[in-house]
Amino acid sequence: MALIVQKYGGSSVATTEKISRIAEKIVAEKRNGNRIVAVVSAMGKTTDNLIKLAKEIISEPPEKEMDILLSTGEMVTVALLCMAIEKLGEAAEGFPGYFAGIKTDSVHTKARIQTIEPARIIKELEKGNIVVIAGFQGLSPDSAITTLGRGGSDLTAVAVAAAVKADACDIYTDVDGVFTADPNLVPEAKPIPEISYDEMLEMASTGAKVMLSRAVEFAKRYNVPFSVKSTFGAGEGTMVKELAMKEGTDVSAVSLDAKQAKITVFRVPDKPGISSMLFTALGKENINVDVIVQNVSKDNFADISFTVNITDAEKTLKITKELGKEVMAENVVCDRDIAKISIIGIGMMNHPGVAGRMFHALGKERINIEMISTSEIKISCVIKKSDGAKALKTVHAEFIES
């Protein structure tokens, strides 16, 4: 008898018909002799509708009230899923996140989980009930409803799995697991049977957003293996867990992030502290800087290039121009016509020549590399956006298909 935590996202519960089908899956698992905790999101459009109502009242709704408002979305799904389960003859017990013992800090709309007190969940499981929990929400120290922000329901599932010491944690989604590349761009892409937490984190940061990093980071910290599966598909999905170094398979996946912009500061006087000033200023504005390259020229002037998310480009350019003026840089420019192609794999650090092989593959296709960034399990190249699709196919063919 296994204890299984399952998470069903917004598209999996978008209609009452889908909720009824999920109930069938859950009941089948229960009748296989397992104990089930299901974590659910709000039904497809619910959240958007609630946000629309709030904006009719006030253009920038206060966050504490936004949390009360949005938390109702998952509660509706909880109630409906329990009904569908009971219709099939099994007992269900549904909770809002705050009754499930999920305690957070007080940062409304993006609260962080502090502790989980799973006594009530465990009590209901022991009674033989299927437990259904509203994802995405918790309770602050002063007993206000909080929500966990984007990717919050995944986080609820992983955190509950850790707290109840689940045997399995299944994140159900509308894709068949994690792929070697985006199947929409690379028809040859195939599902990855298992992947490490670190690779999964790198994939999130390279633009392959199957899941947001927060839940993966939590899973890594508390070592909660989980799988990513298709809700209504039949595949085995991808198991994400702590993996030993793999022999042979040096590259697990290839990803393309076409939503970046490159900022270049030309001829900065090469004095210590200038980069630090710049990146501290951007950090204060919550701008995540990704790839950074700095070339020092012979005459004590440096060029600094870095990439940011394209939605932050305008703000970044403004801040960088102000600072560039201060330090007497020659010029600051922004290039929105770029993309980042990355290869990811925990085996790659032990395989010299992987980087060279990637550059060679791109070169053969006359794709110019503008910037390079490497970590122990990732190599990223910034290229022209128009080369993106070709680069992805080429690199996928080189490392995955060969």
**Minimum CB distance to a second copy smaller for 20 or for 213:** 20
**Minimum CB distance to a second copy smaller for 3 or for 68:** 68
Least Å distance, CB 77 to a second copy, is 10
**Minimum CB distance to a second copy smaller for 129 or for 255:** 129
Least Å distance, CB 66 to a second copy, is 7
- Expressed in angstroms, the distance from the first to the final Cα of the chain is 41
Least Å distance, CB 57 to a second copy, is 5
Least Å distance, CB 146 to a second copy, is 13
**Strand segments (E) across 247-397:** 253-269, 289-296, 301-309, 331-344, 371-375, 378-384
Residue 128, Ramachandran bin (φ over 0: left; ψ between -120 and 50: alpha; else beta): left
**Minimum CB distance to a second copy smaller for 92 or for 338:** 92
**Minimum CB distance to a second copy smaller for 68 or for 243:** 68
Round to whole Å and give the CA distance between 307 and 86.
Answer: 52
**Minimum CB distance to a second copy smaller for 139 or for 163:** 139
Length of the chain as a residue count:
402
**Tokens, residue 21:** 């089908």
DSSP letters, 165-230, are T-SEEEEEESSSS-BSS-TTT-TT--B-SEEEHHHHHHHHHTT--SS-HHHHHHHHHTT--EEEEE
Least Å distance, CB 99 to a second copy, is 6
Least Å distance, CB 118 to a second copy, is 15
Give the binding site for a second copy (CB under 8 A).
Answer: 16-17, 19-20, 50, 53-54, 56-58, 61-62, 64-66, 68-69, 71-72, 75-76, 78-80, 82-84, 86-87, 92, 94, 96, 99, 120, 143, 145
**Strand, coil or helix: 121:** helix
Element (H, E) at 315: helix 313-326
